Structure 1
Amino acid sequence: MGKRGRATLRAQWLGHLLRDLREANGLTLKDAAEYLQRDLSMISRFETGVYPIRRGDVMALIDLYGVEEARQREILLHLATEVWQKGWWDKYSGQVDGSLIDLVWLESRAEYIGAYSIFPVTSLLQIRAYATALIRAADPDAPVESVERWVELRMSRQRILDGSVQLDVVLDEAALRRSVGGSEVMNAQIRHILTAAERPNVDIRVLPFTVGAHASPDGGFRLIKMADPFPKVAHVEGPGGSLYVESAEAERLAARYDRLRESALDPDDSIGFITALGKELA
């Protein structure tokens, strides 16, 4: 979970938008560099997101690129502000992978999060003891202090549920049955899921084993929808790290998620299922 140098997702988005505008106007990196009176290599780093561009430079470039429509200018300048804006999560940036910081930033801006979890229970619904047991199992040699910081970040992320974000979760039965931290922890985790389901902005559905083959046999994923200027994003996490996809690929995963929801039990039956499982495991 250590830090590595990388471009942030928001810096990459802004850079891609500026590159598209430059190319649409038939301008080269050299043209943009001469206009801003900067090195050509710096313009390239702006466009790849390796070095976040300042708002003043964005204003100059969108003038150069002939962006006159007020809404488009607002979107670009808003994103330029987001690139440099600090959040509570930045204090963890030296202790966790940068892709996780991207995820926390996305969650903080989300209006809707859809999560399909085969295992474990989605992180936004985990209790502290469950999260601690997961992290220790994945990295048994991690220092105690590091584990505590990682768990603290995970718990802090859950504060978004106190706001207006809509959390929609499809939990595979496997996520509920695989014991993490022992029976006491699992019982507490199941009770927490039932409590979370009482929130008006949380929808939980169970995908039982009896469904058999389903729409996502190759793993879980998240969908994150934000207000303009941000696109819909799908997040897929695996042993090799995190992957963020947009556009057609995100829409493909959104369609997959819809099929998973259709196959899952409805919210009332899901609560009944989880309640019965809790009694079974008690």
Structure 2
Amino acid sequence: MPPSKKGPTLRSQWLGKHLRELRESAGLTLRDAGDYVQRDQGAISRWETGIVPARVPDVLALLNLYGVHDPAIRNALEQLSRDIWQKGWWDDYARETKTRVIDLAWLESRARRTKMYKAVVLDGLLQTRDYAREIMTANRPDYSPAKLERWLEFRASRQRKLTDDDPLLLDVVLDEATLRRMVGGAKVMRAQFAHLEDLAERPNITIRVLPFDAGAHASPLGAFTIFEMPEPYPDASHIETEAGSIYLEAESVERFALTYDCLLNSALPPEQSLAFIRALAERLSR
């Protein structure tokens, strides 16, 4: 299954970045690489920018040219190339949405651990179907009923990674505002609180609440997610904006990791957080 035609994926950009760095380290030009694999230099440039992902035979040929003999590096880049072209469940949605949304599902499927801070609404991984429907309806009133159902299915598919045989390790800090916001009314929120309790009892999920009385905290600009990735993928951070998703690497991830650690110091411990959520649920039941 070819990658989405809507733009370079995060995977193809990562592969291209590795190939460019290896070519430059070998002191070779785009023309040198193109001549070796019998492509023009424009093709090599498109591979290195991720616009068109290189296939496995071309990756292996380039590694030979660049003098890369380390088995770990060769195996990692070969796997990355295969991963780009391998079909995942998210590819069924690729033609209907922005590539960056598909990147999010892919990251969740590969991450060793995901850490997130949510400041306004709950993350899609944590939402009940009714809560998700209310959020989507408010955010995208232009969606037809059929499209809304389609994206509810997409969100449910993402959530399966929390409960499969190799579940995602998920650490969450929830601002109290995410729990106080009455999305869909009392009935929807009671069910959502019960769902959070169920998730918090799973061994792979930790939920902490950042209460209002914690005062000023380390992330006044809002929500973010950190993906701790296995080799050959770099760790990544994700920010959602009105203009779409933004993914960052390297020093930016370190900055978010430090911020997350500071948030942990201000948040309630898991047991107290669960009690906090239960207390809110009880108030809605009165």
Equivalent positions of 1:106-145 (< 5 A) are 106-145=107-146
> Are positions 1:249 and 2:241 aligned together?
no
Among 209, 212, 227, which residue is 1:209 paired with?
212
- Report deviation, 1:263: 0.5
In 1, Cα distance between equivalents of 2:260 and 2:32 = 44
* SS of structure 1 residue aligned to 2:112: strand
* SS of structure 2 residue aligned to 1:94: helix
In 1, Cα distance between equivalents of 2:95 and 2:183 = 28
In 2, Cα distance between equivalents of 1:176 and 1:65 = 53
* Alignment deviations for residues 179-201 of structure 1 (CA, whole Å, 9 cap, x no partner): 11121111111110011111011
Q: Which amino acid aligns with 2:121?
A: P
* SS of structure 1 residue aligned to 2:95: coil
Is the 1:12–1:49 contact (alpha carbons within 8 Å) kept by the matching residues of 2?
yes
* Alignment deviations for residues 122-163 of structure 1 (CA, whole Å, 9 cap, x no partner): 111100000011001011121111111111100110111113
What residue number does 1:159 align with?
160
- Report deviation, 1:251: 0.9
- Paired residues in the alignment total 280
In 2, Cα distance between equivalents of 1:17 and 1:243 = 20
- Report deviation, 1:228: 1.2
Gaps of 5+ in 1: none
In 1, Cα distance between equivalents of 2:21 and 2:79 = 17
Is the 1:45–1:51 contact (alpha carbons within 8 Å) kept by the matching residues of 2?
yes
* SS of structure 2 residue aligned to 1:188: helix
Is the 2:120–2:178 contact (alpha carbons within 8 Å) kept by the matching residues of 1?
yes
What residue number does 1:232 align with?
235
What residue number does 1:78 align with?
79
Q: Which amino acid aligns with 1:209?
A: F
What residue number does 2:44 align with?
43
Equivalent positions of 1:20-31 (< 5 A) are 20-31=21-32
Gaps of 5+ in 2: none
- Report deviation, 1:164: 3.0
Identity of aligned residues (%): 50
Q: Which amino acid aligns with 1:161?
A: L
- Report deviation, 1:4: 7.5
* SS of structure 1 residue aligned to 2:96: coil
- Report deviation, 1:208: 0.3
In 2, Cα distance between equivalents of 1:275 and 1:99 = 35
* Alignment deviations for residues 206-252 of structure 1 (CA, whole Å, 9 cap, x no partner): 00000111000001001111221111111111111111111111011
TM-score (norm 2): 0.96
What residue number does 1:59 align with?
60
What residue number does 2:11 align with?
10
Is the 2:6–2:98 contact (alpha carbons within 8 Å) kept by the matching residues of 1?
no
What value does the CA root-mean-square deviation take over the aligned residues? 1.1
